[in-house]
Structure 1
Amino acid sequence: MAKFFDEINNQHREFIEAQKIFFTASAPLDAEGHVNLSPKGMDSFRVLSPTSVAYMDINGSGNETSAHILENGRITIMFCAFYGPPNILRLYGKGQTVLPGSAQWDALSPLFHLPLSSRQIIVAEIDKVQTSCGFGVPYYEYTGERDQAIKWADNKGEEGIEKYQAEKNLRSMDGLPTAMFGKL
């Protein structure tokens, strides 16, 4: 049975901090646009307060979340237990993209180990927390983090990453501008 909360409590925080993977979901306002769902890992999530969270976002072939939250702010973040008692926890809120060089970046970046592959930090103000049973989620065993993103970024170097971001990260697949648009 689903339960709803107005903020992240200590039990929620402990569950979040124990997870090795989470998923983000966002969507454009246009009904013809594509819904985005992305897995995240790399110890990249932080609970900032009972109603505020942030995660480090690494370079990727798209930048859908940034485009969607720039357009409408909506973001959902989901954690599910792949070991231990079954549980699913969703955070519903409004997000913003924080880019390197901003005052917010300077304040938040020390909370993360930021590899060269980091492109932005997504911050979300949470207005609803939902927990549900998770009975249908299978067990999986965590065996470690992948290092391809870090090796890829190290191989590209800063100049190569900037070129890649200019080619791949300024607009969503539906043509919406991201927070990086006009910044590179």
Structure 2
Amino acid sequence: MGVFYETLPPSLVPWLLDQKVFWIGSAPLAGDGHVNVSPKGVSDKGGPFFGVIKEQQQQQQPRTPNENVEAEANADADADADADKIGNGNVLIRKFWYMDLTGSGIETTSHLHEPGNGRITVMFNAFSGPPRILRIFGKGNVLEYGTREFNEIVAAQKITIIPGTRSIIVVDIHQVGTSCGFSMPCYSFVSFRPTLNDFFEKKLANEKAGKRKDGIEVYWASKNACSMDGLPGLKRGVKTGSIEKVQPIKKMVGRYAPLKGPRRPQRVFTVGHLILVALLSCMSTAIVILGLLRLGIGIASFKPKRVLV
């Protein structure tokens, strides 16, 4: 059966950190925008590629005898949480992070940058051992390469970045869910793929050699400046594109391609909105009528004073 938590139980962290692939889900706010799912892998170079930020919970005040009795009655329901607190020194986990590597798409970053959005789901799945699916729901924050926030988390989490690193994405967790995963097949890990690392090593070498057009900055401006729905993507790529006049590539074709700018959420008027408008109209009309009536009564009762000549 599925179990939900407000924070990530520390007892699940060793299993989570042992995984070599996970998935990211996000979407724009526009109802006709495209929901994106991205697989994320790791490499044998650099890292770690994902992790959690641990906090120490404040020590609770000693319980009264009555509170102890109540706590014992609820011991079974709280067994997992208590085990986490005892075994992990009252650890609280409310943040998950991962290293975002460069690719031709920039969907997740675009969705997280969109004002009023930031929704993100991270999913892990057991491919060996006992079955398990773990989902992390929250709001994501993109710490782009080269920014102060990026440098701070890289230092704090002891991350070794690789040539294709474009950001660290931090998820503020508001819900964690586990489920059985009984239907998921078993797979054996074979090897890491070196292709991405090799490709962006060449891009960085070109950048250092002064071959700007073949470097990673122009790649970001061309491929990572906007999402498939036209939303702004990597801020560094957008800035480079503006300064160096690099046109973003066209990512969609056909009738779903955004032709008149990025897709934005449309205002939808419901029955409730119509009722509210009708009520406000009635109230304003009533106020006007009452005002006119009072004015009419005032005029009718007005008696001009006689002036003696």
TM-score (norm 1): 0.95
For residues 104 and 228 of structure 2, the distance between their equivalents in structure 1, rounded to whole angstroms, comes to 10
Residue 45 of structure 1: how far off its partner (Å): 0.8
Instruction: Give CA deviations for 1:45-103 in whole Å, capped at 9, x if unaligned.
Output: 11113010111111100100000111100000000000000000000000011012222
Residue 179 of structure 1: how far off its partner (Å): 4.1
Given candidates 95, 105, 110, the residue that maps to 1:62 is 105
Equivalent residue of 1:123, what SS? strand
Given candidates 115, 120, 125, the residue that maps to 1:75 is 120
Residue 2 of structure 1: how far off its partner (Å): 1.1
For residues 7 and 122 of structure 1, the distance between their equivalents in structure 2, rounded to whole angstroms, comes to 18
Residue 44 of structure 1: how far off its partner (Å): 1.1
Whichever of the two has the greater Rg, that structure is: 2
The percentage of counterpart residues that share the same residue type is: 42
Q: 2:145 touches 2:165 (CA, 8 Å); kept in 1?
A: no
Q: Partner of 1:6 in structure 2?
A: 6
Given candidates 128, 133, 140, the residue that maps to 1:88 is 133
Question: Within the alignment, does 1:113 sit opposite 2:160 as a pair?
Answer: yes
For residues 53 and 5 of structure 1, the distance between their equivalents in structure 2, rounded to whole angstroms, comes to 14
Instruction: Give CA deviations for 1:6-50 in whole Å, capped at 9, x if unaligned.
Output: 111122212211111110000011111111101112151111130
Size of the aligned set, in residue pairs, is 184
Residue 113 of structure 1: how far off its partner (Å): 2.2
Q: 2:220 touches 2:234 (CA, 8 Å); kept in 1?
A: no
For residues 28 and 105 of structure 2, the distance between their equivalents in structure 1, rounded to whole angstroms, comes to 14
For residues 61 and 119 of structure 1, the distance between their equivalents in structure 2, rounded to whole angstroms, comes to 12
The structure carrying a bigger helix percent of its residues is 2
Question: Within the alignment, does 1:45 sit opposite 2:62 as a pair?
Answer: no
The letter for the 2-side match of 1:153 is F
For residues 234 and 102 of structure 2, the distance between their equivalents in structure 1, rounded to whole angstroms, comes to 14
Residue 183 of structure 1: how far off its partner (Å): 3.9
Equivalent residue of 1:51, what SS? strand
Equivalent residue of 1:84, what SS? coil
Choose between structure 1 and 2 for higher RCO, CA contacts under 8 A separated by at least 6 residues.
1
Q: Partner of 2:191 in structure 1?
A: 144
For residues 183 and 82 of structure 1, the distance between their equivalents in structure 2, rounded to whole angstroms, comes to 41
Q: 2:140 touches 2:171 (CA, 8 Å); kept in 1?
A: yes
For residues 121 and 144 of structure 1, the distance between their equivalents in structure 2, rounded to whole angstroms, comes to 24
Q: 1:97 touches 1:179 (CA, 8 Å); kept in 2?
A: no
Q: 1:93 touches 1:127 (CA, 8 Å); kept in 2?
A: yes
The letter for the 2-side match of 1:108 is I
Question: Within the alignment, does 1:102 sit opposite 2:147 as a pair?
Answer: yes
Greater CA drift, 89-98 or 36-45: 36-45
For residues 30 and 67 of structure 1, the distance between their equivalents in structure 2, rounded to whole angstroms, comes to 13
For residues 121 and 172 of structure 2, the distance between their equivalents in structure 1, rounded to whole angstroms, comes to 11
Equivalent residue of 2:137, what SS? strand
For residues 171 and 182 of structure 1, the distance between their equivalents in structure 2, rounded to whole angstroms, comes to 8
For residues 31 and 103 of structure 2, the distance between their equivalents in structure 1, rounded to whole angstroms, comes to 24
Structure 2 residue ranges without an equivalent (≥5): 43-47, 55-92, 241-309
For residues 179 and 116 of structure 1, the distance between their equivalents in structure 2, rounded to whole angstroms, comes to 16
Q: Partner of 1:177 in structure 2?
A: 232
Equivalent residue of 2:168, what SS? strand
RMSD value, Cα: 1.3
